[in-house]
A and B are shown apart, each in its own frame.
Chain A
Amino acid sequence: MQEIILIKNGELALKGLNRATFESVLVKNIKRRLHGLGHFVISRSQSTTTIEPTEEAFDMDEAVERLSKVFGIAAFQRAAAVEKDMSAILSAACDYLQEPLSQIRTFKVEAKRSDKDFPLTSPEISAEVGGRLLETFGHLSVDVHHPDCVVTVEIRERFAYIRCNQIKGAGGMPVGTGGKAALLISGGIDSPVAGWMMAKRGIVLDAIHFASPPYTSPQAEMKVHDLLRQVAAYSGDIGLYTVPFTEIQEQIRDNCPEELFTLVMRRFMMRIAERIARREDCAALITGESVGQVASQTILSLGCTDAVVGMPVFRPLIGMDKDEIIVRARAIDTFDISIRPYEDCCTVFTPRHPRTRPKRSLLEDAERALDVPALVERAAADAKFEIIRNEF
């Protein structure tokens, strides 16, 4: 008996003429993710993608784990592929479903027959398989309205497939169908979640991190690597630009009013990020900001930071509470990394009483003391590039 994986594509079915393109991106992503697990064949029909291992050693459990992190997959199932012969189907059903059925009480069987030459009709197949399962597992009973589990038997061209439990996929759209955007990442809890959410909508990520040695440590940069590696398990490889930020922060400290430190700094970050984003063909910026979380994230403050950017800034967490963000961060395994206690550049020179209702003109005045274009230019040019790989 051979085991295969059946994948139900996500929103792809809705996408009209683009569907073929989207599906081919998804198939490419799946192939890349499953690389190294052994040989397999991948095929498409209607809205189902089938993965069929062609070698014994293929690691099914690991494949399922990796597929659960591929965006564009709504749900998937493991299924047994057996010969199209009723006695083979019956014995395989008892064998293959033993473990999942031992944990439930009620079930029903659904049969589908796309091969109309199969000697039994769908209701006949359901009846036979249901009967055999009842005989074999004494604790089960049939419930056609609200079963704990639906056993599906599907007679297709080459094989009959037996399956029961559906596994929820990561949902969203295949990464690569939505263009590329640059994520500003500090090392805190929010930005990795923001990146993950945008990747879920099909966007390829680049990341931009601001480092201020000696105020920030090499450990803080390592933390950003570790965070992005978790995100890359969903989004695929991420290009990381680490921007030297010390000089700018020191100049802000020495030349601007303390209450504006953070906002002036945020405006620099946005300018530098946009510069890099344009250079690297990113169509937008992504940040982890949420309204009111800190002084620089009031709507007036956000207005002041947006004023220096000429491209869309996406803030997928904008209306979320910290608790909600933490739930997501835990789910994607970034939370425990985010709370490692290293200073990041956002916590250096934090003013004691930051302004929460800033005026744009005040910021512009403050920035007059600095050679903004030159500082931005230099920082963007000196950014160090590396690729954070989606490693397993």
Chain B
Amino acid sequence: MECYLDNSATTIPCKAAVAAANTAMLEVFGNPSSLHRYGFEALQMLERARAELAKSLSADSTELYFTPSGTISNNTAVFGAVQLGRRRGNKIVTTAIEHPSVSKCMDRLEEQGFEVVRLLPDSDGNIPLSRFEAAIDAQTILVSAMAVNNEVGSILPFDRLQAVIRQKQSPALLHVDAVQGYMKLPISPKKCGIDLMSMSAHKVHGLKGIGALYIRKGVRIKPYVLGGGQEEGICSGTQGMPAIAAFSAAVGELSDTRERLQRIAGLRDMLLEKLDALPIVTRNSPENALPYILNISLKGIPSQVSVNALSARGVYVSAGSACAKGHRSGVLTAMGLPAERIDTAIRLSLSSYTTEEEIEFCVDAICEIAAQLRKKG
């Protein structure tokens, strides 16, 4: 038996996604910008995919743009938003636990003279709304926060940020990196007042190499990938049709988000209950984390060793942070965890394909490696 619990890194593509990609490669292979029949068929396929994804967000299909990855969605949103906002102010509010595809953009903007405020999480990984309230002001031109943290699964108050922005009479655009939250939490950008939102296909059983950016109607950003003007100029480059077709097929296959969330919460609780019985396990994810992600530390066993040992037993998880040789996890460090806990952290991430048997298999494997690998004393 095998048990894949690294779904926050990537998921297995679903059959419908692979079939859709196959059709796009072999039959509808045209360039959607071409005027002939093949081009037109590709264009129709592109727009159907766009409509399907828009539906998943209760958005209008003209608000959805395809990009080559979640990273490019984030770069496009962050750089695009400040380009047009810089006349109105100089301040950006973000968090200290963003994915590098946001945080490194922020570093660059800081070098360029923007004032960047990075809000710290509590020791449980949550960031209270009050921290945003204290930071956002009339000079703030961009608020960028992730929906769900990729390492510990904490859910940020992304749905209440627009209210803060309005209340502070700030001109800020609101960007939400929803790569880990899309199709796992019910997110309606319109209801939440989100201006820009990033998504990625391969986290929801689509293919690698495609992402999407939601841009609320009426919001203008300055594109940062330039070229032939595809995607209304927001992200130039011939659309990767096989991956786009697969993206919409994958999203169409997923059952109701709320129901799925409940089932995954059940699995996560089962996992937690069994793990809590092990004395070497400490939980790093907050109580109210997204149930798809569980970060734990295994006292005395370095992350890489756990990952290798579990891999040898057919259980695939990720190191919650790089090993002592590499860089420590920025997220766990920002939470203020002790070094020993950071260096022994692993992340288990579930998907809609995860079964109870797999959870049991995984727990057994963790018990075994705990017995085998723990340092003496």
Binding site for B on A (CB under 8 A): 213-217, 253-254, 258, 341-343, 347-349
Contacts of B105 in A (CB 8 A): none
Q: How many A-B residue pairs have CB under 8 A?
A: 39
B324: Cβ under 8 A from any A Cβ: yes
Query: Which one of B132-140, B200-208, B307-315, B345-353 is at the A interface?
Result: B307-315
Contacts of A214 in B (CB 8 A): 305, 308-309, 311-312, 369, 373
Contacts of B373 in A (CB 8 A): 214-215
Assembly CA distance A215 to B309 (angstroms) = 7
A218 — nearest CB in chain B belongs to which residue? B308
Contacts of B325 in A (CB 8 A): 341-343, 347
B279: Cβ under 8 A from any A Cβ: no
Contacts of B375 in A (CB 8 A): 253, 349
A46 to chain B, nearest CB (A): 51
A163 to chain B, nearest CB (A): 46
Assembly CA distance A216 to B323 (angstroms) = 11
Residue in B312, B323, B376 whose beta carbon sits within 8 Å of that of A343 in the complex: B323
Contact A215 B305 (CB under 8 A): yes
B326: Cβ under 8 A from any A Cβ: yes
B284: Cβ under 8 A from any A Cβ: no
B302: Cβ under 8 A from any A Cβ: yes
B344: Cβ under 8 A from any A Cβ: no
B338: Cβ under 8 A from any A Cβ: no
| New contact pairs (13) apart from A253-B376, A342-B323, CB-CB < 8 Å | A213-B308, A213-B312, A214-B373, A215-B308, A217-B304, A254-B376, A341-B322, A341-B327, A342-B304, A342-B325, A343-B305, A343-B323, A349-B375
Assembly CA distance A349 to B377 (angstroms) = 12
B302 — nearest CB in chain A belongs to which residue? A343
Contact B326 A341 (CB under 8 A): yes
Assembly CA distance A81 to B148 (angstroms) = 69
Assembly CA distance A347 to B369 (angstroms) = 19
5 residue pairs, one from A and one from B, having the closest CB atoms = A341-B326, A214-B309, A214-B308, A341-B325, A217-B308
B5 to chain A, nearest CB (A): 17
Assembly CA distance A214 to B307 (angstroms) = 8
Contact A341 B308 (CB under 8 A): no
Assembly CA distance A333 to B221 (angstroms) = 42
Query: By CB atoms of chain B within 10 A, which of A217, A258, A347 has the most?
Result: A217
What are 20 A-B contacts defined by CB distance under 8 Å?
A: A213-B308, A213-B312, A214-B308, A214-B309, A215-B305, A215-B308, A215-B309, A215-B373, A216-B308, A217-B308, A253-B375, A341-B322, A341-B325, A341-B326, A342-B304, A342-B323, A343-B302, A343-B304, A343-B325, A348-B305
Assembly CA distance A384 to B68 (angstroms) = 42
Contacts of A347 in B (CB 8 A): 324-325
A215 — nearest CB in chain B belongs to which residue? B305
A343 — nearest CB in chain B belongs to which residue? B304
Assembly CA distance A342 to B311 (angstroms) = 15
Assembly CA distance A213 to B306 (angstroms) = 11
Contacts of A349 in B (CB 8 A): 375
Contacts of B302 in A (CB 8 A): 343
Contacts of A341 in B (CB 8 A): 322-323, 325-327
B319 — nearest CB in chain A belongs to which residue? A341
Assembly CA distance A258 to B376 (angstroms) = 9
Contacts of B323 in A (CB 8 A): 341-343
Contacts of A216 in B (CB 8 A): 308
Contacts of B326 in A (CB 8 A): 341
Assembly CA distance A216 to B327 (angstroms) = 18
Give residues of chain B (282-324) contacting chain A, Cβ–Cβ below 8 Å: 302, 304-305, 307-309, 311-312, 322-324
Q: Mark B344-377, 1 if CB is under 8 A from A, else 0.
A: 0000000000000000000000000100010111
Assembly CA distance A214 to B375 (angstroms) = 14
Assembly CA distance A347 to B311 (angstroms) = 20
Contacts of A217 in B (CB 8 A): 304, 307-308
A369 to chain B, nearest CB (A): 13
Assembly CA distance A216 to B373 (angstroms) = 12
Assembly CA distance A217 to B323 (angstroms) = 12
Contacts of A343 in B (CB 8 A): 302, 304-305, 323, 325
A255 — nearest CB in chain B belongs to which residue? B376
Contacts of A254 in B (CB 8 A): 376
Assembly CA distance A341 to B329 (angstroms) = 13
B34 to chain A, nearest CB (A): 39
Query: By CB atoms of chain B within 10 A, which of A254, A342, A343 has the most?
Result: A343
Contacts of B376 in A (CB 8 A): 253-254, 258
Assembly CA distance A342 to B369 (angstroms) = 19
Assembly CA distance A108 to B377 (angstroms) = 75
Assembly CA distance A349 to B327 (angstroms) = 20
B299 to chain A, nearest CB (A): 15
Contacts of B309 in A (CB 8 A): 214-215
Assembly CA distance A349 to B373 (angstroms) = 10
Query: By CB atoms of chain A within 10 A, which of B304, B327, B377 has the most?
Result: B304
B38 to chain A, nearest CB (A): 40
A214 to chain B, nearest CB (A): 4
Contacts of B311 in A (CB 8 A): 214
B238 to chain A, nearest CB (A): 33
Contacts of A215 in B (CB 8 A): 305, 308-309, 373
Assembly CA distance A387 to B117 (angstroms) = 53
Assembly CA distance A10 to B312 (angstroms) = 50
Assembly CA distance A256 to B375 (angstroms) = 13
Contacts of B304 in A (CB 8 A): 217, 342-343
A190 to chain B, nearest CB (A): 14
B10 to chain A, nearest CB (A): 17
Assembly CA distance A217 to B304 (angstroms) = 8
Assembly CA distance A86 to B356 (angstroms) = 89
Assembly CA distance A253 to B376 (angstroms) = 7
B63 to chain A, nearest CB (A): 40
Assembly CA distance A264 to B231 (angstroms) = 63
B360 to chain A, nearest CB (A): 21
A179 to chain B, nearest CB (A): 35
A151 to chain B, nearest CB (A): 48
B304 — nearest CB in chain A belongs to which residue? A343
Contacts of B312 in A (CB 8 A): 213-214
Contacts of B322 in A (CB 8 A): 341
B56 to chain A, nearest CB (A): 36
Give residues of chain B (33-86) contacting chain A, Cβ–Cβ below 8 Å: none
A320 to chain B, nearest CB (A): 21
B306 — nearest CB in chain A belongs to which residue? A214
B314 to chain A, nearest CB (A): 12
A337 to chain B, nearest CB (A): 13
Assembly CA distance A254 to B376 (angstroms) = 7
Contact B305 A258 (CB under 8 A): no
Contacts of B324 in A (CB 8 A): 347
Assembly CA distance A88 to B376 (angstroms) = 81
B322 — nearest CB in chain A belongs to which residue? A341
A150 to chain B, nearest CB (A): 47
